[in-house]
Every structure is written in C-alpha cells, then in structure tokens.
Amino acid sequence: MRNEKGTERKPSWRSANGNPKSEIKTGDHLNQRLGILGGTFNPIHLGHLAAAEEVRDRLKLEKVLFIPSFLPPHKSEEDMPSAVQRQEMVRLAIKGNPHFTVSDMEIRRGGRSYTIDTIEALRQAHIGAELYFITGLDSFLEIRTWKEWQRLMTLCSFVVLSREGCRFRDIAKLAFLNAPEHDLAALDGGEKDQAVIRTGNMRVYLQRVPFYDISSTDIRARIRAGRSIKYHLPEAVEHYIIENKLYA
C-alpha cells in the first residue's frame, strides 16, 4: 500500500463471505470505528489474523478491513500469485468472522497505490467513520519516507504493532511525536501493552501483540521444500494453496 500509486477508481467492498456490498450509505458509517490492514498477504497467515483480532478487541473496532495490494514494485513475480488469488485467500481466511471484511479497491485500481490515496478513498466512502491504520513498528519507523506522510497523519489514527527485533524506544527518533520515553521503555519491558500518543486530532496507538513465529516468506519456503504448513494458516487457505499449486 505504501509503495504503490495508481489512478483512483470507485472502491468495491466485499463482506467476509465474498459477496459485494450493494451500496455504501454514508449515514451507516457515522462514528464507526474502522481498522485498515493492507498488505500483499502472500499468503495471509494466522499471525495476520491474530494481530487484527487483538487490535479489534483492544480498540473496540466495529470492523477490520483487509486490503490486498496489487502486484507491488520491487518484488519478484515468481512467488506472487495473482492479485485475485491473494484476495481469495484473504476471503477464505476471514470467513466466519463478522468483524472482518475484505476490499479489492487496490486490486481494481491496479498499478501502484500509496497509503495516502487509499485512506483518502476510504474517507470518501466512509464519511464520518474513525479510521485506524494498522501497521508494524518496523514500517512506522520509516513513515517520514511515505508519500505526504504529514497530511496522512491528519487523516487517520495509527495502530503500531510490536515486531520481533524492533524497539518501541526507537520511536523517540520521530521527534514530531514527542513520545514519552518512559512509556516507550515500559512497552519494551513488557510493563504495559499499550500507549497512546496524541497528534493533532488523531492518535498513534502503540500496541504490544503476541509474537507468532510465522511469516509468509517462511510459508512459501516450506511449500517449496515439501514441508508442512499446517497450523501456520487457516485450513481453507492451505487447501486453496494445494489445489491451485501455489508457491510449488
């Protein structure tokens, strides 16, 4: 999402069962708390789902919207199923959770998509909703390299998730946040699991989440090596990968 850009088109929204939503009525979204989780999901795994559910529960979000990206730049197509296949894996993974929804807005847009473009489109589609953009600590530490990052931080709140090998104390380098160092140290030390930083009308939520030693890269490597991927991702996604001979 961050490293892409494309021509805007009208977003398409789908529920967890994959059926398109008939029409977005702005009044339905007033004061709705909506989490946004983008990525290649190549493939989606239990770590993605557990983190999304943890955020939804802690922040009392009505929905978490999963947005699979179109083929991003600087990534090999060798290990990349089509955008439609990755979207289908997300749909299968979230099926049964009424709080999770998948959108094909970036796939339909095609080309590259920057986070700022996606958030602006969501604000137009969900007038009155509170948007919470979910990202990892490693990515957030690079936010000053994002397109129009200063304006982006006025359009949505951020939920920054802990990452293995990353320290919340490094957020102190982002001087514009003026983050209390004692809170950052407490997060790193496990003495607290959430801290909130106010930035204008928006907030940055620093959130510790359970660490799952699962990654899309490892799953793809396991498949190529003929190893089991059971309990790394939902069973329906595992079956879809096998049936479509993905990553083999």
Q: CB within 8 A of 182, min separation 6: which ones?
A: none
The neighbour count for residue 119, using CB atoms within 10 Å, is: 20
Query: Residue 4 above 80 pLDDT?
Result: no
Compute the distance between CA of residue 47 and CA of residue 230 in angstroms, rounded to an integer: 13
For the chain, helix (H) and strand (E) counts, in that order, are: 9, 8
How is domain 13-213 classified at the CATH fold level?
Rossmann fold (3.40.50)
Say if residue 146's pLDDT is above 70.
yes
Which pLDDT band, with edges at 50, 70 and 90, does 113 fall under?
confident
DSSP of 16-64: TTSPBPS---GGGGTT-EEEEEEE--TT--HHHHHHHHHHHHHHT-SEE
User: How much is the pLDDT for 26?
Assistant: 43
The string of pLDDT tens digits covering residues 32-48 is 999 999 999 999 999 99
Domain borders along the chain are: 13-213
pTM: 0.87
pLDDT digits (tens, 9 = 90+) for 61-88: 999 999 999 965 445 556 689 999 999 9
Give the pLDDT mean for 18-22. 38
